[in-house]
Amino acid sequence: MSYRIYWRRNDGVSGHVWLSAGDMGALTGEMAVQGMPWPGDRLPGPGADAIVEADEVEQVVAAARETPLTLSDGQLWIDWLVFLEGAAQNGGLLIRA
């Protein structure tokens, strides 16, 4: 399974990312270790969608550390944080599994 994640307001060129279940698990694990309030209970199952509102994304970003504590791929972490910052400014996230 994989996840297609979009800013809720995007131009079709920017504002989207595709993550494998492994990458999503690594990112959500890092967010949990850092105490970031990620709504992990809303990750959709196959064929389903979920919404994370902009104010929720802002809270996640506000709690983030720039350097990962457990994730070995530091660039994945930085890219994820930049993506979340954009989502906070563009209406939140739409997650499709």
Residues 25-76: tens digit of each pLDDT: 999 999 999 999 999 888 999 999 999 999 999 999 999 999 999 999 999 9
Which structural domain range is residue 85 located in? 2-96
Q: How far apart are CA 96 and CA 72, in angstroms?
A: 25
Answer whether 0.75 is exceeded by the pTM: yes
Which CATH number goes with the domain that contains 87? 3.40.1760
Structure confidence at residue 93 (pLDDT)? 97
Give the total number of structural domains in the chain: 1
Q: How far apart are CA 15 and CA 9, in angstroms?
A: 8
- The confidence band for 19, taking pLDDT boundaries of 50, 70 and 90, is very high
